[in-house]
Structures are given as C-alpha cells and as structure tokens.
Amino acid sequence: MNAENMEYLTIALPKGKLFKLSSELFGKIGFTAEGLTEKSRKLVITNEEKKLRFIITKTADVPTYVEYGAADIGIIGKDVLMESGKDVYELLDMGFGKCHLMMAVPKAQKRAKLTDYAHTRVATKFPHIAERFFNAQGMQMEYIKLNGSIELGPIVGLSESIVDIVETGTTLKENDLEEIAYIMDATARLISNRVSFKMKFERIHGMVKALRAVMEQEANA
C-alpha cells in the first residue's frame, strides 16, 4: 500500500437504493464530504481535512473495488455480496436495505409444486445463489443472467420463473407474479478489504464502533 493510500480511508458507496441511507449514516459519525450526492458526476469525492475519500460505483462493483483494495471499505447488500463470492471481511450488518430473495412465477401458469419447475429456465441477477438453492432442492435448472427488470423474463417467454429480490412486493404484484419459494433475507453490510483492515485497523475499528453506537441509539429511540 503506497503512502497516499495509507493516508486516506477510501469508502465505496453503491448507487441506487442504498446510497442515501449509507451516506446519511456516515454523515451521523461525521464522515461527510462536500458534494457527496448520488447524482454527482465527480466519481471521487474527498474530505481533505478528515482524509476521507468516497467513491460512487455501480452496486455490483462495490465488492470488486473492496477486494482489490481500491476501496478500503464498502457498503453492499448481502445478496450482491454473496453472489459476488468476493474475499472481503464483513464487519457490520447495517440493518437497512431489508429485502429477501425468492423465486416467483406468473400466477396464471403456477404449477402444483416447486419441483415441477425442474429443468425449466429461470431469469436472475443472482445465478450463483439461485444455483445453490436449486441444487439443494435437487433441481437442475437453466440459468439466464439478466442485469435488471428481471420480472420481464416470464412475461415475454424468456423464462418460466425468476429469482430476484423483493422489497415491498409492488413489482411482483404489478406484473402478476407470485412468490413460490423463499431463498434468503438480505440487508446492507459494511465490508472491508482484508489488508486495509490490518493496516488501518485503528481508523476502521473506530469507525465501526461509532457506526454501531449510532445504530444502537436509533434502535432505542
């Protein structure tokens, strides 16, 4: 790790649903930077006084930046973290960004039981998690990797089912899909690069303690 990297603590924040809650929580422990907004066209936002650097990346890329040490710390959903298979430390369950992963099918073509879907096509952003789930059920499936709007898959005949996250259930409802199998719960996690965790232990440890204190305070409020 070079001297400049040692001097700064670099935090990767995902665009999208987790950005606002993550940046707000960091703000509560004084980890702020001028111009830190999701819409910022500037991709690295620095707080010189506190030697903090925020980078804003695509959600699925956060574990990659952290694994390679381009960011020391990151915030990411457990679902995306598990799917990535990246070798990072998971330091804290932040509690927000609650959702669950599940399998859904078009209501109108619902089959009698889960195993009736064996050997059919499933559209998903999470092929690794999906495969582990179906293997555990003894089901072989064909996985079709999509990058968004997964619910479209069965509507246009690309797949018989989807494996995706559900937060409020609105997207399933609006597309006449029904959840038929629960896979796992997910919340936002604070992750760290393994080397950074050792080299910047004091800073990272202090940050985790401060975040935990804020979270406990809010839980008891």
Stretch that binds ligand PRP, among 79-87, 144-152, 194-202, 211-219 (CB under 6 A): 144-152
- Footprint of ligand PRP on 166-185 (CB under 6 A): 166-171
Stretch that binds ligand PRP, among 89-97, 111-119, 145-153, 182-190 (CB under 6 A): 145-153
Q: Which residue is nearest to ligand PRP (CB)?
A: 148
Nearest-approach distance from CB 74 to ligand PRP, in angstroms: 17
Q: Does 162 bind ligand PRP (CB under 6 A)?
A: no
Binding mask 92-131 toward ligand PRP (x if CB under 6 A, else -) reads ----------------------------------------
Phi, psi at 191, each rounded to 5°: -120, 160
d(CA 14, CA 20): 9
Identity of the residue numbered 35: G
Nearest-approach distance from CB 168 to ligand PRP, in angstroms: 3
Q: Does 149 bind ligand PRP (CB under 6 A)?
A: yes
d(CA 103, CA 145): 14
H helices of the chain, where?
3-7, 17-28, 62-67, 78-84, 127-136, 152-155, 170-174, 194-199, 201-220
d(CA 113, CA 97): 30
